[in-house]
Amino acid sequence: MLAAAGATSVAAFHEVKQVVNAFNESPALQLGQTDLSTAAPGKPQTIMLIGSDVREKGASGYGGGQRSDTIILIRLDPSKKATALLSIPRDLKVSIPGHGVGKINEAYEDGGAKLTLETVKEITGLRINHVISVNFLGFVDAVNQLGCVYMDIDHRYYNPGGSYAAIDLQPGYQRLCGRDALSFVRYRHTDTDIVRASRQQQFLAQMKQQVSLGTLFGERDKLLKIFGKYTRSDIHSTSAVLRLLKLAISSAGNPIQQIPFDGSLGPSYVFASDTQMHKMARQFIGVESIKTAAKKAASKRSHRSKRKHGVNPANFGLIDSSSIGRQVALQTVSAGARLPVFYPRLIESGDVILSPPRAYDFITKDHKHRPAYRIVVKAPGLGQYWGIQGLADFNPPNLKAQHETRHYNGRGYYIYFEGKVTRTVAWKVHKTWYWVQNSLSGALSENQMITIARTARSL
């Protein structure tokens, strides 16, 4: 939205004024003068985005204490080849200044955005230039205004409501709109904070990839109204908006790169040492290109896999799953799949191919129906699901601009990285796309992903 409005500011100053007015529509966040750092024009900026747990009147939890449901740090640096995102788990155990030890999301309840900012600065050592707080309703309206987002849903998400927000999503590539999108990014009661952070960052990355500058420009008036209504920030002067606009424009072409959270899970808390937090902060500031980061990670994984427990590098620790894979493929056909079904012949030890699979009609933005299916594989650990997707007669946005192409036995395989994780390995047969999708936190290595794709067979 900033980049769209800024692109027009060259021609007309009143466009900038609109952005300033949007920032000024809601009261300013109450932050101390010394809490924020001022960046020189054109220099990198770090923005802290807070998604606050503010519910509608009548909804479950309405009127309760507000906590920061999401904390994401965003690094805009035109000198880098990526825009860095670092999510801080809401259950991270921290020392909250003046309040003792607790979960970091309690800082918002105890002292609002100001105390949250102080706590984040304390644990990361980072300088933060701006804070923007947005509530649930703003997210829902913005997603709908942008025409929704195509997302790869890794498994079945279901909860009827009650203690946790209601959700009912089937697995597979599909189009997510406002309420479903919010439920998807907030879901956490059968996985972990770290998995949820990966889900949120993937949603933001896909939204950025799919929403064009032209769409943002065309919808800028309505988006600015949503922004003004549902957000609060420290940004209120014309000069601050101009600096941010220029930075957003110069960074607009950069892909989003996640900085994985390096922590451990306990019964109630997420734990990360000072050393771990400062290492993540350094990675956040010095983010590398997606390709460079992925290659370094792949090299380390390959070296470790050859040393670890005598693992055979020919199959990278994968075991035969041909029999069960074929059975699930037959179930997919019986369920009504109208396209050839590729199934996994190799999986990791401990993985389970879930049954029944899903055969369905993928619905495009213009309401056309396309044959599709999804086979879901459950890996050990909370929230660890990977799978094989098929989709006919449609070019999915998540498969645009592959990072690498490799050829094996006459077939091209398209590889997509997300930071240090190999996110997707895809191939095309006639007019049908197939791909292996990694788990949210990247349970499969690059070699495993490619091997699974190469050995997949069709029925």
Kindly report the CATH number assigned to the domain that includes residue 84.
3.30.420.590
Q: Residue 39 carries which side chain, given as an amino acid letter?
A: A
Both 393 and 275 in a single domain? no
Q: What residue type is assigned to position 385 of the chain? A: Y
Round to whole Å and give the CA distance between 380 and 383: 9
Nearest to 439 by CA among 70, 180, 177, 191: 191
Instruction: Look at residue 158 and tell me if it is in a domain.
Output: no
* Tally of structural domains, the chain: 2
Residue 104 and residue 244 in one domain:
yes
Contact 82, 284 (CB under 8 A): no
Count CB-CB contacts under 10 A for residue 287.
24
**265 and 323: one domain?**
no
Contact assessment for residue 5 and residue 224, using Cβ atoms and an 8 Å cutoff: yes
Q: Does 265 share its domain with 342?
A: no
How far is residue 68's CA from residue 107's CA, in Å, rounded to a whole number? Answer: 8
Is 163 part of a structural domain of the chain? no
Rounded to whole angstroms, how far apart are CA atoms 233 and 129?
A: 11
Dihedral angle sign, alpha carbons of residues 221, 224, 225, 226: positive
Within a domain: 38: yes
Judge if 337 and 235 occupy the same domain: no
If asked whether residues 126 and 269 sit together in one domain, one would say yes
Identify which of 98, 129, 127, 92 has the alpha carbon closest to the alpha carbon of residue 112. 98
Residue indicated by tokens 């894979």 = 325
Q: Spell out the per-residue pLDDT of the chain, length 459, in tens.
A: 555 555 444 445 567 788 888 889 989 998 977 789 988 888 899 999 998 765 444 444 444 456 678 899 999 998 888 889 999 999 999 999 999 999 999 999 999 999 999 999 999 999 999 999 988 888 999 999 999 999 999 999 999 987 777 899 999 999 999 999 999 998 988 888 889 989 998 998 899 889 887 788 788 889 889 999 999 999 988 888 888 888 887 887 788 888 989 999 998 899 999 999 999 999 999 986 555 665 665 555 454 444 443 445 568 999 999 999 999 999 999 999 999 999 999 999 999 999 999 999 999 999 999 999 999 999 999 999 999 999 999 999 999 989 999 999 999 999 999 877 899 999 999 999 999 999 998 999 999 999 999 999 999
Closest Cα to residue 195, out of 139, 157, 142?
A: 157
Q: Within this chain, do residues 274 and 359 fall inside the same structural domain, yes or no?
A: no
Residue 349 CB partners (closer than 8 Å, separation 6+): 317, 319
Q: What is the dihedral of CA 120, 125, 128, 131, to 10 degrees?
A: 0
Last residue of a domain, which of 238, 267, 287?
287
Q: Does a structural domain hold residue 162?
A: no
**135 and 56 Cβ atoms separated by less than 8 Å:** no
For 203, what's the count of Cα atoms within 13 Å in the CB-facing half-sphere?
A: 27
Looking at the fold, whether 94 and 15 belong to one and the same domain comes out as: yes
What is the helix, strand, coil percentage profile of the chain, to 5?
A: 35, 30, 35
User: Is residue 200 included in any domain, yes or no?
Assistant: no
303 within some domain: no
d(CA 60, CA 46): 34
Contact 278, 124 (CB under 8 A): yes
Q: What is the domain extent for residue 239? A: 2-146+211-287
Domain presence at residue 193: no
CB atoms under 10 Å from CB of 14, counted, come to 10
In this structure, the answer to whether residues 221 and 342 fall within a common structural domain is no
Are 100 and 55 part of one and the same domain? Answer: yes
What is the total residue count of the chain? 459
Residue 443 lies in a domain: yes
Q: Are 369 and 454 in a shared domain?
A: yes
